[in-house]
Amino acid sequence: MSSVLDSIRAMLVPIRREGFPFIAVLAFLTVFFGWFWAPIFWIGLILTAWCVYFFRDPSRVTPLDTNLVVSPADGRISAVTVGMAPRELDIGDQTRRRISVFMSVFDCHVNRAPLAGRVARIVYRPGKFINADLDKASEDNERNGLVIESAHGPIAVVQIAGLVARRIVCFAEADKEVAAGERIGLIRFGSRVDVYLPLAANVLVSEGQTAIAGETVLARFGEDAAERRVRIC
């Protein structure tokens, strides 16, 4: 009996409370207009189910190694490059490694801290709403940046609005500690998250790879991954 209950609980993924108003409105419109014309009911039912799916907030198992950088978002690795973090974050003009994760409207949109540290500052900057999959979205789009003071120096996490996304929600608070994999925000509906790391970080992912927030390891600080494999062998 207990195993059956555990299976049911595993399937019932929690829903973020930020999604309840959208789900309620869609459900009401579905029933109201569906009463007059059946096809609208079925279309509305599909849209309501998608909205529930969009605001899901599954639990994740984050690696405990403090040298690892985990993905801040579910989605596709859209860019692995180098560049400077947004100037408003004030973490210097040095070149950093930038890893971008693009979230489609079918990905979970809860964002998580890529590593542990103190949130030194949070800076919001208004901007455009072009396709978040484009490289120039890092500079032109509306965004919310967090600077996390970690054991490996300051790193930046930037939530970027997209073509459809019009609302960036930040759960993190300045001067508060965050754990790796801890929930730090949410973006509606389809967007991108950039992570800016020191050049000392060894990137372990490539463009096109699928990432899972809080679980997929993006990079590692310390010894090079190839050197580590040789030492183990």
Read off the amino acid at residue 39.
Answer: P
The β-bridge partners of 117 are: 178
The reply to whether 59 belongs to the active site is no
Q: Which H/E stretch holds residue 51? A: helix 38-54
Taking Cα atoms as reference points, which of 80, 35, 54, 50 lies closest to residue 204?
Answer: 80
Catalytic residue among 59, 138, 191, 206: 191
Three-state secondary-structure class, residue 195: strand
Q: Which two tokens mark 229?
A: 């494999």
Cα angle value 100/65/119 (rounded, 5°): 60
CA-nearest of 75, 102, 101, 77 to 207 is: 77
Whether 68 and 115 have beta carbons less than 8 Å apart is answered as: yes
The pair of structure tokens assigned to 197 is: 């790391």
Q: What residues are paired with 112 via a beta bridge?
A: 183
CA nearest to 170, candidates 149, 198, 140, 147: 147
In the DSSP assignment, the letter for residue 18 is G
User: Which residue type is seen at 181?
Assistant: G
For the annotated catalytic residues, the residue numbers are: 191
